[in-house]
């Protein structure tokens, strides 16, 4: 009989640093056969491009949350596919808006089609140190992600002071007293967690997911085929970032191929290791479809050529 695959999930709100941590896990464990399932709300996947490397076993499940009934079958198929690819470890990166409360239901469904194929070891929840306390007030999913995790990794500690970290830790402990807590910057985290059975330390909770077709946030994808001026693109993002939970993508600019990442007020435009991809940017709207008008207005005030938004 085949040894069960060690299954971990990574959760955490949009932009908290899930892909950054995952990239480190893959780079520091090249000797292990690790498979990845990546889940994004947009039609176009961006995170897959960031971690893709020759030989990496990766399946992307996009256009919604893997915990929503609308994508559960695709999620189970992706899990089955990883069993067929014979990976030793499987890491599932949930979308930043994913509510993993029903993970037990998914494991039961998998177990009924492939008994003992996977051993669920637990969920790691990335905490965005500068944004977490506000996010917790505004968005229910942030608390669900925490309750249904066994290890909380407070990320971006370079952007906050020690008082804030202390406060974050005490709020986390109030919500989930038995959770393990670690701190990090840029997802540089001790990879020892891969050897642990986290659900033994802090047991799983069961519940219903809030992810449904009806409350799916509006996601838009923008493409264009000309080089843009990088500072003008930054102006464009500054005009619309307040209406978006998250903006991310790759763009071709006068200063080279660039990765764009906006989370709350923070906007990062950095040279990309990846090159020659098409320019594509994903927006996750805070204001539903009404975001379309401000995006076009901000674009037209900075650029004199057309882009496509769908």
Ligand X SMILES: Nc1nc2c(ncn2[C@@H]2O[C@H](COP(=O)(O)OP(=O)(O)OP(=O)(O)O)[C@@H](O)[C@H]2O)c(=O)[nH]1
Please list, in sequence order, all residues whose beta carbon lies within 8 angstroms of the beta carbon of residue 213, skipping any fewer than 6 positions away: 64, 68, 69, 70
Min. distance of Cβ 1 from ligand X in angstroms?
A: 35
Min. distance of Cβ 30 from ligand X in angstroms?
A: 20
Of the pair 176, 259, the CB lying nearest ligand X is at: 259
Which residues are at the interface with ligand X (CB under 6 A)?
12, 14-20, 47, 96, 126, 155-156, 158-159, 185-187, 246, 248, 261, 263, 268
* β-bridge partners, 35: 57, 90
Q: What is the rounded CA–CA span in Å between residue 149 and residue 126?
A: 10
Of the pair 19, 83, the CB lying nearest ligand X is at: 19
The token duo for 221 is: 């994808």
Of the pair 109, 267, the CB lying nearest ligand X is at: 267
Min. distance of Cβ 112 from ligand X in angstroms?
A: 30
Min. distance of Cβ 186 from ligand X in angstroms?
A: 4
Min. distance of Cβ 300 from ligand X in angstroms?
A: 26
| Terminal Cα-to-Cα distance of the chain (whole angstroms) | 47
Specify the DSSP element, H or E, that contains 20.
helix 18-28
The sign of the torsion formed by the CA atoms of 182, 99, 133, 239 equals: positive
Of the pair 273, 304, the CB lying nearest ligand X is at: 273
The token duo for 72 is: 């559960």
Specify the DSSP element, H or E, that contains 167.
helix 162-175
Of the pair 110, 144, the CB lying nearest ligand X is at: 144
């Amino acid at each position: 009989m085949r040894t069960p695959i060690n299954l971990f999930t990574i959760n955490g709100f949009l932009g908290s640093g899930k892909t950054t941590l995952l990239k480190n896990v893959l780079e520091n464990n090249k000797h292990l056969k690790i498979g990845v399932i990546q889940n994004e709300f947009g039609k176009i996947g961006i995170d897959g491009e960031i971690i893709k490397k020759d030989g990496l076993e990766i399946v992307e499940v996009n256009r919604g949350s893997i915990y929503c009934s609308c994508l559960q079958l695709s999620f189970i198929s992706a899990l089955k596919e990883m069993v067929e690819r014979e990976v030793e470890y499987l890491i599932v990166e949930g979308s930043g808006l994913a509510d993993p409360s029903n993970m037990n239901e998914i494991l039961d469904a998998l177990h009924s089609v492939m008994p003992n194929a996977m051993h669920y070891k637990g969920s790691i929840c990335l905490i965005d140190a500068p944004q977490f306390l506000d996010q917790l007030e505004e968005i229910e999913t942030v608390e669900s992600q925490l309750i249904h995790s066994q290890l909380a990794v407070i990320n971006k500690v370079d952007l906050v002071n020690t008082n804030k970290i202390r406060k974050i830790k005490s709020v986390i402990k109030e919500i989930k007293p038995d959770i393990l807590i670690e701190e990090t910057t840029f997802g540089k985290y001790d990879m020892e967690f891969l050897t642990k059975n986290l659900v033994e330390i802090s047991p799983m909770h069961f519940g219903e997911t809030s992810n449904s077709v009806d409350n799916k946030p509006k996601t838009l994808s923008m493409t264009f085929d000309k080089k843009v001026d990088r500072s003008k693109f930054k102006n464009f993002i500054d005009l619309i970032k307040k209406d978006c939970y998250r903006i991310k993508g790759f763009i071709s600019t006068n200063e080279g191929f660039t990765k764009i990442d906006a989370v709350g007020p923070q906007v990062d435009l950095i040279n990309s290791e990846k090159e020659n991809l098409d320019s594509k940017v994903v927006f996750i709207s805070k204001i539903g479809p009404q975001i379309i008008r401000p995006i076009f207005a901000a674009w037209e005030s900075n650029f004199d050529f057309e882009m496509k938004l769908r």
